[in-house]
Protein backbone atom coordinates (compact mmCIF):
# COMPACT_ATOMS: atom_id res chain seq x y z
CA UNK A 1 0.00 0.00 0.00
CA UNK A 2 1.15 3.52 -0.63
CA UNK A 3 1.47 6.15 2.08
CA UNK A 4 -2.02 7.58 1.43
CA UNK A 5 -3.61 4.13 1.81
CA UNK A 6 -1.75 3.55 5.07
CA UNK A 7 -3.11 6.85 6.38
CA UNK A 8 -6.62 5.77 5.34
CA UNK A 9 -6.30 2.56 7.36
CA UNK A 10 -5.00 4.52 10.35
CA UNK A 11 -7.83 7.04 10.06
CA UNK A 12 -10.48 4.29 9.92
CA UNK A 13 -9.00 2.52 12.95
CA UNK A 14 -8.80 5.79 14.89
CA UNK A 15 -12.52 6.30 14.18
CA UNK A 16 -13.24 2.73 15.30
CA UNK A 17 -11.39 3.26 18.59
CA UNK A 18 -13.18 6.59 19.13
CA UNK A 19 -16.52 4.84 18.55
CA UNK A 20 -15.72 2.33 21.31
CA UNK A 21 -14.97 5.25 23.65
CA UNK A 22 -17.86 7.53 22.63
CA UNK A 23 -19.93 8.70 25.58
CA UNK A 24 -23.24 8.83 23.72
CA UNK A 25 -25.07 6.64 21.23
CA UNK A 26 -25.38 9.61 18.86
CA UNK A 27 -21.63 10.27 18.90
CA UNK A 28 -20.93 6.56 18.40
CA UNK A 29 -23.33 6.38 15.43
CA UNK A 30 -21.77 9.45 13.80
CA UNK A 31 -18.32 7.86 14.01
CA UNK A 32 -19.47 4.46 12.78
CA UNK A 33 -21.45 6.02 9.93
CA UNK A 34 -18.19 7.59 8.78
CA UNK A 35 -15.74 4.73 9.41
CA UNK A 36 -17.81 1.51 9.22
CA UNK A 37 -19.14 0.06 5.94
CA UNK A 38 -22.91 -0.37 5.71
CA UNK A 39 -22.42 -4.12 5.32
CA UNK A 40 -19.36 -4.25 7.58
CA UNK A 41 -19.21 -7.27 9.89
CA UNK A 42 -17.86 -7.61 13.43
CA UNK A 43 -17.18 -11.16 14.63
CA UNK A 44 -16.14 -12.09 18.16
CA UNK A 45 -14.35 -15.42 18.59
CA UNK A 46 -15.11 -15.72 22.29
CA UNK A 47 -18.88 -15.19 22.05
CA UNK A 48 -19.49 -16.29 18.44
CA UNK A 49 -21.22 -12.92 18.10
CA UNK A 50 -21.70 -11.54 14.57
CA UNK A 51 -22.90 -7.97 14.12
CA UNK A 52 -23.46 -6.28 10.77
CA UNK A 53 -23.75 -2.60 9.91
CA UNK A 54 -23.02 0.57 11.87
CA UNK A 55 -26.37 0.73 13.70
CA UNK A 56 -26.14 -2.81 15.08
CA UNK A 57 -22.46 -2.38 15.93
CA UNK A 58 -23.26 0.83 17.85
CA UNK A 59 -25.91 -1.05 19.86
CA UNK A 60 -23.48 -3.91 20.55
CA UNK A 61 -20.73 -1.55 21.72
CA UNK A 62 -23.22 0.25 23.93
CA UNK A 63 -24.22 -3.02 25.65
CA UNK A 64 -20.57 -3.91 26.24
CA UNK A 65 -19.76 -0.42 27.53
CA UNK A 66 -22.70 -0.47 29.99
CA UNK A 67 -21.03 -3.40 31.72
CA UNK A 68 -17.81 -1.42 32.12
CA UNK A 69 -18.58 2.28 32.67
CA UNK A 70 -15.49 4.47 32.76
CA UNK A 71 -13.29 1.92 31.00
CA UNK A 72 -11.20 3.10 28.05
CA UNK A 73 -10.61 1.11 24.86
CA UNK A 74 -7.13 1.79 23.47
CA UNK A 75 -4.52 0.44 21.10
CA UNK A 76 -1.50 -1.05 22.85
CA UNK A 77 0.87 -1.31 19.93
CA UNK A 78 1.39 -0.26 16.35
CA UNK A 79 -1.10 -0.94 13.58
CA UNK A 80 0.07 -3.71 11.29
CA UNK A 81 -1.39 -3.33 7.80
CA UNK A 82 -0.99 -4.84 4.38
CA UNK A 83 -3.08 -3.97 1.31
CA UNK A 84 -6.06 -2.80 3.34
CA UNK A 85 -5.90 -5.60 5.91
CA UNK A 86 -4.90 -4.76 9.47
CA UNK A 87 -4.10 -6.20 12.87
CA UNK A 88 -4.35 -4.24 16.10
CA UNK A 89 -3.69 -5.16 19.70
CA UNK A 90 -5.93 -3.44 22.22
CA UNK A 91 -6.77 -3.18 25.90
CA UNK A 92 -9.86 -2.20 27.83
CA UNK A 93 -8.53 -0.29 30.83
CA UNK A 94 -10.29 0.39 34.10
CA UNK A 95 -10.44 4.00 35.34
CA UNK A 96 -7.33 3.28 37.47
CA UNK A 97 -5.39 2.41 34.27
CA UNK A 98 -5.17 -1.33 34.90
CA UNK A 99 -5.92 -3.61 31.98
CA UNK A 100 -9.29 -5.33 32.39
CA UNK A 101 -9.33 -7.11 29.05
CA UNK A 102 -7.20 -7.23 25.93
CA UNK A 103 -6.95 -8.89 22.60
CA UNK A 104 -6.28 -8.65 18.92
CA UNK A 105 -8.55 -7.50 16.12
CA UNK A 106 -7.94 -8.43 12.49
CA UNK A 107 -9.80 -6.56 9.80
CA UNK A 108 -10.10 -4.88 6.45
CA UNK A 109 -10.59 -1.31 5.21
CA UNK A 110 -12.13 -0.76 1.77
CA UNK A 111 -11.19 1.81 -0.88
CA UNK A 112 -13.73 4.20 0.66
CA UNK A 113 -11.78 4.27 3.95
CA UNK A 114 -14.43 2.25 5.79
CA UNK A 115 -13.93 -0.86 7.85
CA UNK A 116 -15.59 -3.85 6.19
CA UNK A 117 -14.57 -6.53 8.68
CA UNK A 118 -13.26 -6.95 12.21
CA UNK A 119 -12.59 -10.37 13.70
CA UNK A 120 -11.93 -10.06 17.44
CA UNK A 121 -9.82 -12.42 19.51
CA UNK A 122 -10.22 -11.24 23.12
CA UNK A 123 -8.14 -12.50 26.02
CA UNK A 124 -8.59 -11.87 29.71
CA UNK A 125 -5.57 -10.82 31.74
CA UNK A 126 -4.83 -13.26 34.59
CA UNK A 127 -5.85 -10.70 37.24
CA UNK A 128 -9.21 -9.75 35.67
CA UNK A 129 -12.32 -10.53 37.74
CA UNK A 130 -14.81 -10.79 34.88
CA UNK A 131 -14.75 -11.27 31.16
CA UNK A 132 -16.47 -8.91 28.72
CA UNK A 133 -16.32 -9.61 24.97
Q: Cα angle vertex 77, ends 1, 70, to 5°?
A: 125
Q: Cα angle vertex 9, ends 6, 12, to 5°?
A: 150
Q: Is the pLDDT of residue 45 over 90?
A: no
**What region, left, alpha or beta, does residue 132 occupy, with left being phi > 0 and alpha being psi -120 to 50 degrees?**
beta
**Range 21-55 burial, b when 16+ CB lie within 10 A, else e:** ebeeeeebbbbbeebbbeebbbbbeeeeeebebbe
- Count other Cβ atoms within 10 Å, centred on residue 8: 20
Q: Which fold has domain 3-123?
A: Nuclear Transport Factor 2; Chain: A, (3.10.450)
pLDDT in tens, 14-40: 999 999 999 999 999 999 999 999 999
- pLDDT computed for residue 132 by the predictor: 46
Question: Which residues pair with residue 99 across a beta bridge?
Answer: 93
User: 1 falls in which pLDDT band (50, 70, 90)?
Assistant: very low
Taken as a whole, the chain contains a residue count of: 133
Helix then strand count (H, E) for the chain reads: 3, 7
Domain borders along the chain are 3-123
Which residues neighbour 61 within 8 Å (Cβ) at sequence distance 6 or greater? 19, 20, 28
Q: Does residue 77 contact residue 89 with C-beta atoms inside 8 Å?
A: yes
pLDDT in tens, 70-92: 899 999 999 999 889 999 999 99
Amino acid sequence: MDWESKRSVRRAIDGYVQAWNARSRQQRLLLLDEFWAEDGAYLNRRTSQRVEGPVDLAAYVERVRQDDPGHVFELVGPIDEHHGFFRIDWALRRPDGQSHLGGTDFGHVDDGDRITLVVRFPVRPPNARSFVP
